[in-house]
Every structure is written in structure tokens, then in C-alpha cells.
């Protein structure tokens, strides 16, 4: 048996083992302003906020969500919608500065069938991508390797965001 040594992943493992709280994760994070670092909330605007994905596809995987608990794109006010996509654009700028990715996957999963993990609170995913960021691990062993701890990613992005 071969072992993949990744001690920085312990924080990810501990997060998964924490008791799951009831309710919407985005609503909890939007109200819990005293724990932005613990919740990995990178940026707050008037109607939306940015949070790191606790289970990222790649380092720097961000999500933009409105404070209001709404399910559908058409339920967003024009103010929420405009600010939301300005923040998506700003997220791309910050990720380019910090990680220099070769591209991005940006999307909204509307409904469980479309892949929404949190299907009743609309949010946009911003996933930085690099040439060669896929390898045999997900195919052969159903394992994704994230090379940087979430706490380090948070620190870098929070610092870069404050300079924007």
C-alpha cells in the first residue's frame, strides 16, 4: 500500500467531522460577522459576501452569495444582482493576483439536479484552474489533492482583497 503524506489536510478532515448544524450555511455565515476568519468569509459588501468553499475543487475556490435567503436568480433584486456580479468580477481579479491561474470555471448550480449542494440559497462558484491541475488521483482513487491549507488560502485572499 502506498501512502500520500498530506499533513496540511488535517484541518479539512476536522471540518468534515464537526457536527453538522441545522439551517442554511450561507445564512449562518452572513449573520455571524464576528467569526469571518473561522467561517472563511473573505469579503463583505452591502448585499452579498464572499466565502471560501470548505470542500474546494481547487485552491482559491470562492463562492459569492447574497445575504438574503433566496433560491432563484429571478428573485434577486437588481441591486443584489448587480453587486453580486461586480463581486464575481472582483473575485477573479483577486484570484489572478494571488494565484495566477490560467483560467476559471464560474457558475451557478440551480437546483439539486444541477449539482447544487446548497440548493435553497443561490450562490456563484468561482474556481481557478491551471493547465495540468487534473491528474490520475480523482480517476484512479476518487481522491482530489488540495495542496494548500484553507487557513493559508484565506490569509492570502483576505490580504489581497483588502488591498483592492
- Catalytic residue numbers, as ranges: 123
Q: Return the closest-CA partner of residue 110 out of 119, 98, 102, 101.
A: 119
Mapped onto helix, strand or coil, the DSSP state of residue 49 is strand
Q: Are 43 and 88 in contact (CB under 8 A)?
A: no
Strand order in the sheet with 124-129: 41-44, 48-52, 62-66, 124-129, 103-107
Q: Are 8 and 149 in contact (CB under 8 A)?
A: yes
Amino acid at each position: 500500500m502506498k501512502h500520500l503524506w498530506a499533513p496540511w489536510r488535517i484541518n479539512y478532515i476536522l471540518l468534515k467531522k464537526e457536527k453538522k448544524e441545522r439551517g442554511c450555511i450561507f445564512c449562518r455565515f452572513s449573520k455571524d460577522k464576528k467569526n469571518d476568519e473561522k467561517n472563511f468569509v473573505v469579503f463583505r459588501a452591502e448585499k452579498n459576501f464572499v466565502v471560501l468553499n470548505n470542500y474546494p475543487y481547487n485552491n482559491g475556490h470562492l463562492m459569492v452569495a447574497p445575504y438574503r435567503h433566496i433560491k432563484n436568480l429571478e428573485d434577486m433584486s437588481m441591486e443584489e444582482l448587480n453587486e453580486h456580479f461586480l463581486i464575481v468580477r472582483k473575485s477573479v481579479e483577486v484570484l489572478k493576483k494571488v494565484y495566477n491561474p490560467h483560467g476559471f470555471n464560474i457558475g451557478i448550480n440551480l437546483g439539486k439536479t444541477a449539482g447544487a449542494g446548497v440548493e435553497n440559497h443561490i450562490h456563484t462558484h468561482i474556481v481557478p484552474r491551471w493547465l495540468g491541475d487534473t491528474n490520475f488521483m480523482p480517476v484512479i482513487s476518487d481522491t482530489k489533492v488540495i495542496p494548500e491549507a484553507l487557513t493559508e488560502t484565506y490569509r492570502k485572499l483576505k490580504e489581497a482583497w483588502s488591498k483592492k
